[in-house]
Structure 1
Amino acid sequence: MSDAGLVGLLRLPKGLLGDRGDRSVNLRFALVCILLMPGVLALGAALTGSFMGAATGLVTFTIMAVVAGLALKAQYQHDRLGIANIVTLLRTAIIAALAAPLTQPGLLAMEEALAWTVLGVAVFSLCLDGVDGYFARRQKLTSDFGARFDMEVDSIFALLLAVLAMQSGKAGLWILLLGGMRYAFLAAGLLLPWLDRPLPERFSRKAICVIQIAVLIGLLAPIISGPLSWALAASGTLLLTYSFGRDVVWLARHRA
């Protein structure tokens, strides 16, 4: 959780603009992005029925793809793009399209069928998480870039879901804490450098991340509302707070 996120992805080495030699990986990455763009537009339009929604999804995807592409060029050490990165790009496209309903606050609360559709799309994206890791290991293409790319997509996914839940009236403004706690942690690391240090691997941290996203997806369900939605959101927030709090305590005890 102490990774520098998008900021870290942009810490590019001095040789970034130099001659890399084989640029096929970068070109394939760009080609996959271009091929996914019509799908992002179509899904965004289907979820909102508006040009603004479709355009918002496309802009979101473009920004995410450009940042990831720069990181790929700077940090990726393999000579093949691999299925894993393609799957993560597909997840990026799906998640970016989910930004489309943000242009019409309250739309999911008014359109029950649409809320179920968005929930289904979100569940599909969550199911794809882990598939990329499987293919990376199978093709022997694991990399720090791939792990960071997957993590950043998950973080943006959580934040988008939290905003959708807030707009749907499933919880108050505080639900953004459940979706954006990692970004708050990263911001704190800019002020307190000892927070921006590597953390020991913990399975519980990954499990809580999955629970976090599952809770946010569950809040989209029309059948979950009122006190139940608030209780579910509060439980997820408390669990995530515990996870981050434990990491902060560990970092405080081990700072130089």
Structure 2
Amino acid sequence: MITLQRDTAPAVPEQAAWAGAQILLLGVLGDAVGLGPLGWLAGTAYGFLTWALLSSAMQRSGCGSLGPADRVTMARGVLVGGVTALVADRAGQDAPTTILVAFAAVALVLDFVDGQVARRTGTASALGARFDMEVDAFLILVLSVHVAFAFGPWVLAIGTMRYLFVVASWILPWLRADLPPSLARKAVAALQGVVLVVAASGVAPFAGILVALALAALLWSFGHDVRWLWRSRAIAQTPVAEGCSSV
């Protein structure tokens, strides 16, 4: 969980600087690997949407500045923008594997770092945690698209499952209830990124089997959570007898 600190000073200049860092990274990729128009479009759109959505969320929550852990997450977000541009530009064909894997791997490592920073500073917020989760989810989505070119469209289930769950929660409000903390859930979520990066690297034998096992673990995790939410819904809807009981 990371922190967005309340402050009267606006965070717009800092967020604009991060948006500039995203454009700079795209420029570096353009020089290094010849990033094409589609890559530029995807990377720029990602950076703009991240900036716009985060700014809007901060205004709604009354948070005026970014905390130290948030800056780590923003750095991760810039790397994810680079991965997005590379995947969109090459569409699975002759992608610069070394750069793509390096960006994704560093982003995954920084996911651990921002949590450590938040805990050591003793600050956390629901908005910061949501920002962290959305960056993670989008990285998994982009990696699943890339790996799907090699192993088939079924891999997309890894990247889209969380978003399908969100859509389902719009229809079924009981899916929006808070879940209890779970180390198993966190481990399964972390596993997805690691396995997808390994599969994207092309160096591991039987990578398709590893991806399939990761998907199976993710299905189990989501199934377990949905079952828990359903049972909690049933308990909440159980009528409570009124009046005094007789002895």
Q: Is TM more than 0.5 here?
A: yes
| Conserved 8 A contact 1:52-1:103 | yes
Question: Equivalent of 1:31, from 2, 12, 17?
Answer: 17
Counting matched residue pairs gives: 228
1:183 CA displacement: 0.6
Aligned to 1:178: 158
| Conserved 8 A contact 1:84-1:133 | yes
Structure index of larger Rg: 2
1:91 CA displacement: 0.8
Aligned to 1:249: 227
Q: Separation in 2 of the partners of 1:149 and 1:21?
A: 18
1:34 CA displacement: 3.0
Q: Separation in 1 of the partners of 2:21 and 2:92?
A: 31
Q: Separation in 2 of the partners of 1:205 and 1:214?
A: 15
**TM-score (normalised: structure 2):** 0.84
What SS is found at the alignment partner of 1:223? coil
Q: Separation in 2 of the partners of 1:21 and 1:214?
A: 36
Q: Go from structure 1 to structure 2 and tell me whether the alpha carbon gap of 1:76 and 1:95 turns closer, same or farther (over 3 Å shift).
A: farther
Q: Give the alignment of 1:16-165 within 5 angstroms.
A: 22-43=8-29, 46-75=32-61, 77=63, 80-101=65-86, 102-107=88-93, 110=94, 114-165=96-147
Q: Go from structure 1 to structure 2 and tell me whether the alpha carbon gap of 1:26 and 1:144 turns closer, same or farther (over 3 Å shift).
A: farther
Aligned-CA RMSD value: 2.2
Q: Separation in 2 of the partners of 1:32 and 1:76?
A: 20
| Conserved 8 A contact 2:140-2:193 | yes
Aligned to 1:3: none
CA-to-partner distance for each residue in 1:90-111, whole Å, 9 max, x for gaps? 111110111123232232xx35
Q: Separation in 2 of the partners of 1:230 and 1:35?
A: 35
Percent identity between matched residues is: 32
- When structure 1 is superposed on structure 2, of 31-40 and 212-221 the one drifting more is 31-40
Unaligned stretches of 5+ in structure 1? 1-19
Q: Separation in 2 of the partners of 1:240 and 1:21?
A: 38
1:198 CA displacement: 0.7
1:153 CA displacement: 0.3
Question: Equivalent of 1:230, from 201, 208, 219?
Answer: 208
| Conserved 8 A contact 2:199-2:208 | no
Aligned to 1:17: none
Residue 204 in structure 1 maps to residue 184 in structure 2: yes
What SS is found at the alignment partner of 1:24? coil
CA-to-partner distance for each residue in 1:166-196, whole Å, 9 max, x for gaps? 12x1x21110101111111111111111111
Aligned to 1:187: 167
**TM-score (normalised: structure 1):** 0.81
| Conserved 8 A contact 2:18-2:78 | no
CA-to-partner distance for each residue in 1:126-184, whole Å, 9 max, x for gaps? 111121122223333311111110000000000000001112x1x21110101111111
Unaligned stretches of 5+ in structure 2? 1-5, 237-247
